[in-house]
Chain A
């Protein structure tokens, strides 16, 4: 019974995805919503159940094996929840657009692949579904319009490169462990093992969108259709990436606090937080600003898991689900604004709070969550991460708390510019079908905050099992100093915002003094010229290398094309001259030949 449902999780969305490509216009949305609803119900049914399902597949140790346990059940549940909300939202958002049909197909097939990747108990099966997501990612970005193809290509190459790291990691892990079955693998962190860990982790954090694999996300925010942003980079990519990171640190490799790799993860996390939030601060587009935060928040999760302390891991995973909730919600508010006003350029927006009150309230709740305001969900997960980071080193704590300051500052700027201030034009509130997913997400943010015992005890703590040492991580943090510091930082961000608005003249310019600061202005300039983008730099480098190889190739071509043919012609000319029709020459040739033959025989 359970096995059937496990297979249905993969097969049903796949079939309905193909179906929605064929169905007539009116039925596509219905098909998509029904399929994602069924998917959600299956996930609810399977949650808290355990099962292993094996089907003989390719041989050579590559079997189609799925494993349902608490962790994978939880991720499936979360992913299907977002899938359902996004398909509901897209009903109205993409109404009448040509891209709707393709979007639903890609959405449903993505759901199927995500389910497959999460449930996979064989590294090759995992890789298969994981990499197959590249296809739907490419398709979903590419339907955004003409400019989107460039971004889709960029995303495909960056993610493709990271997935190749992962492929190398999978092969290396399989080689070291002599098996590909994930639940049987337990490796030590010797040099080769560390390399395998780094490769797998590179795949995981790139899926989550961390530095240095992040540069396509802000581009996609401008180009891709909004539901893609709310679904892929905001929700399921984080779920998948952090899920796999947690699996490799907890199960496959058993990282501990003494490991260099733990510090490496924490450094990547801290850098991601700071660099991305600094970029977010100066953005002047609703969606682009959100996309930088989608990168920055990953830093917290990687930092949390990288600490290798129970509080950090639980905080990291809790932050993952919280982030998916509020960032998905934030993108959806952005979508409502885009749908109703036709723009997401902050310079053109203002005073929307009166005309779009529900959207505004949803924005307020989700923005407060991401900034870590008590009693919303972001506060509790961030406090857990702060706690663990402080134990591992003051630097990491400082980076995290600084990140919070800038996060709060940039959301004050965003909210102030878009929703407050003087209203330019009168707009209508978004349609009900678009409001429902936003309201559900905002409500869940509140519930996960106020009743944080519910998600932590039911979803997250069992993942750690005995590793939690019976400690309960829900409720207010143990260390009350942390709370006080957080409150001070948030107040400072508030104060900073109002002083900055007064000085710089206007809410949209609230971060101008940072943008124009002596050293930072140069760095920002370089960042805008994409000097820090490994993709753009790589393209230039490859172009140069290719030029050199092309020259060599021409050389070889010359050898064959000119040298060999000319030599042949020259030879044939010479022979032609010799064959001039004089018998005496032929006779001499024959005699010389005969002489050689005799010489050879007598030798």
Chain B
């Protein structure tokens, strides 16, 4: 059954590209919107074990094995929501019919890539699907034909290429050392403890590649340009889910349940995580563009997830998974807000749109929800995941990391509130370059994502216990 997550979008992609006249952007939009929205709903309705027994006939279409567990289910849920939001944003920001059609096609490709990445059960298909996602995203970014977008794409492309080289080399070493590419085989190779030096070398290479893909400090050079120069819909896709799946999810999957690591690796990952948190939070202070500031905040939040992955106790991994989900939701929300501002005023530069935010009640309200959740204020979702990560750090006796992670929360709160004040509350004399109202589809996204943030925050403990995601089951 899990194969459906890959096959159905693939078939839709094929159908959309049949040479029929009526297959234009509107049809493509409605079909893919329905598909994207079905995925989270299906995940909600059927618990994870319902997916794992699938008829053999289906698997014949795929040459690789699938692996579905509660972690993958949460990822599928998140992917569905964020891609859906990205599609809605594109609907109101991309105007020409041709471009819109191309966008939807590429979005479907990246959707397939991400779903397959989540479901892959061996390290090589994982790599292939990461690359498929990345290539689709490169093209999406470059659709916007301005100089800065191309420059941002180019930076991402070059660094991503390095990452690919690292990862591919590392896979070669895995094959050399373990003789297998399946997760289970590699895991066994670690347990047997033969060729351990080669394995560690391979892990180190893989880690370098993943750090670039995650965009953590000091491998983050591409992130601000890529996130802020791409057009709004791509920013949502990229910041919300694409780089998180290709980088953070892979890190989470491999380093929590496949690789068996030395302590020095854990320490390294945690160090990189904490550096990202503090460094990016401080760098965010001096940004004048909302989207750039959000990019730095994204780096900082990814730092929390990476830190928790490095800590590697069950509770910490739980925190990492939850923060992954929460971050995907509230960061998408904030980027949709930025898209609304851009749509309304034609810019996201804080010096241009200062004080104009309060013309948009829905945007400013949901904006506040998003940033307070980022800063970890209850009763919003971000509070719980941050709290769990910090509790886990303390329980693992990593006090220094715990303290720094705590203190960095104040920084997060501070830079966001400065931005809040600049954009929404300072009175300005300058006449705004009003480009018309905010379209309904953007408002709908804002309300949807804010509702998820508040709902998860209030009902969080029950979600943790729910049968659907079985997060506690995943830990043992």
Q: Do A and B bind each other?
A: yes
Shortest Cβ distance from B469 into chain A, in angstroms? 13
User: Quick check: which of B100-108, B265-273, B404-412 contacts chain A, the rest being far away?
Assistant: B404-412
Chain A residues within an 8 Å CB radius of B413: 156-157, 160
0 or 1 for each of B263-304: is its CB under 8 Å from A? (1 = yes): 000000000000000010011011000000000000000000
* Cα distance, A153 to B419, chains bound together (Å): 11
- Chain A, Cβ-Cβ closest to B460: A58
Q: How many chain A residues have a CB neighbour from B under 8 Å?
A: 48
Q: Does A447 contact B (CB under 8 A)?
A: no
* Cα distance, A545 to B383, chains bound together (Å): 26
Main secondary structure of the interface of B (DSSP, over half): helix
Chain B residues within an 8 Å CB radius of A127: 378, 387
Main secondary structure of the interface of A (DSSP, over half): helix
Segment 78-128 of A: residues with Cβ below 8 Å from B: 124, 127-128
Segment 337-383 of B: residues with Cβ below 8 Å from A: 372, 375, 377-379, 383
Chain B residues within an 8 Å CB radius of A131: 377-378, 383
Supposing A149-B425, A542-B285, A564-B158 touch, asked if A59 and B472 sit within 8 A by C-beta, the answer is yes
* Cα distance, A559 to B155, chains bound together (Å): 11
Shortest Cβ distance from B381 into chain A, in angstroms? 12
Chain B residues within an 8 Å CB radius of A549: 279, 282-283, 285
* Cα distance, A450 to B322, chains bound together (Å): 57
Q: Does B37 contact A (CB under 8 A)?
A: no
Segment 396-410 of B: residues with Cβ below 8 Å from A: 402-403, 406-407, 409-410
Q: Does A172 contact B (CB under 8 A)?
A: yes
Segment 118-150 of A: residues with Cβ below 8 Å from B: 124, 127-129, 131-132, 134-135, 146, 149-150
Supposing A556-B221, A557-B221, A565-B158 touch, asked if A56 and B465 sit within 8 A by C-beta, the answer is yes
Chain A residues within an 8 Å CB radius of B427: 146
Query: Is the beta-carbon distance between A132 and B379 smaller than 8 angstroms?
Result: yes
* Cα distance, A412 to B472, chains bound together (Å): 63
* Cα distance, A168 to B405, chains bound together (Å): 10
Chain B residues within an 8 Å CB radius of A124: 387
Q: Does B436 contact A (CB under 8 A)?
A: no
Segment 226-250 of B: residues with Cβ below 8 Å from A: none
Query: Is the beta-carbon distance between B285 and A560 smaller than 8 angstroms?
Result: no
Chain A residues within an 8 Å CB radius of B409: 160, 164
Contact of B407 among A64, A129, A157, A164 (CB under 8 A): A164
Q: Does A62 contact B (CB under 8 A)?
A: yes
Contact of A568 among B158, B372, B391 (CB under 8 A): B158
* Cα distance, A438 to B302, chains bound together (Å): 52
Query: Is the beta-carbon distance between A167 and B283 smaller than 8 angstroms?
Result: no
* Cα distance, A59 to B472, chains bound together (Å): 9
* Cα distance, A550 to B287, chains bound together (Å): 9
* Cα distance, A542 to B281, chains bound together (Å): 11
Q: Does A573 contact B (CB under 8 A)?
A: no
Segment 191-221 of A: residues with Cβ below 8 Å from B: none
Query: Is the beta-carbon distance between A157 and B461 smaller than 8 angstroms?
Result: no
Chain B residues within an 8 Å CB radius of A128: 378-379, 383
Q: Does A543 contact B (CB under 8 A)?
A: yes
- Chain B, Cβ-Cβ closest to A162: B410
Q: Does B414 contact A (CB under 8 A)?
A: yes
Q: Does B421 contact A (CB under 8 A)?
A: yes
Chain A residues within an 8 Å CB radius of B221: 556-557, 559-561, 564
Contact of B225 among A57, A132, A153, A561 (CB under 8 A): A561
5 A–B contacts, CB within 8 A, in A order: A59-B472, A168-B403, A560-B155, A564-B159, A565-B155
- B contact residues vs A (CB 8 Å cutoff): 154-155, 158-159, 217-218, 220-222, 224-225, 279, 282-283, 285-286, 315, 372, 375, 377-379, 383-384, 387, 390-391, 394-395, 402-403, 406-407, 409-411, 413-414, 417-418, 420-421, 424-425, 427, 460-462, 464-465, 472
Closest A-B pairs by Cβ, 10 of them:
A560-B221, A546-B285, A58-B461, A57-B461, A549-B282, A149-B425, A550-B286, A553-B283, A132-B378, A153-B417
- A contact residues vs B (CB 8 Å cutoff): 56-60, 62, 64, 124, 127-129, 131-132, 134-135, 146, 149-150, 153, 156-157, 160-161, 164, 167-168, 171-172, 174-175, 539, 542-543, 545-547, 549-550, 552-553, 556-557, 559-561, 564-565, 568
Besides A164-B410, A542-B282, 13 new A-B residue pairs in contact (Cβ under 8 A), listed by A number: A57-B462, A58-B460, A132-B378, A135-B377, A135-B379, A146-B427, A157-B410, A160-B409, A543-B285, A550-B286, A556-B218, A560-B222, A561-B225
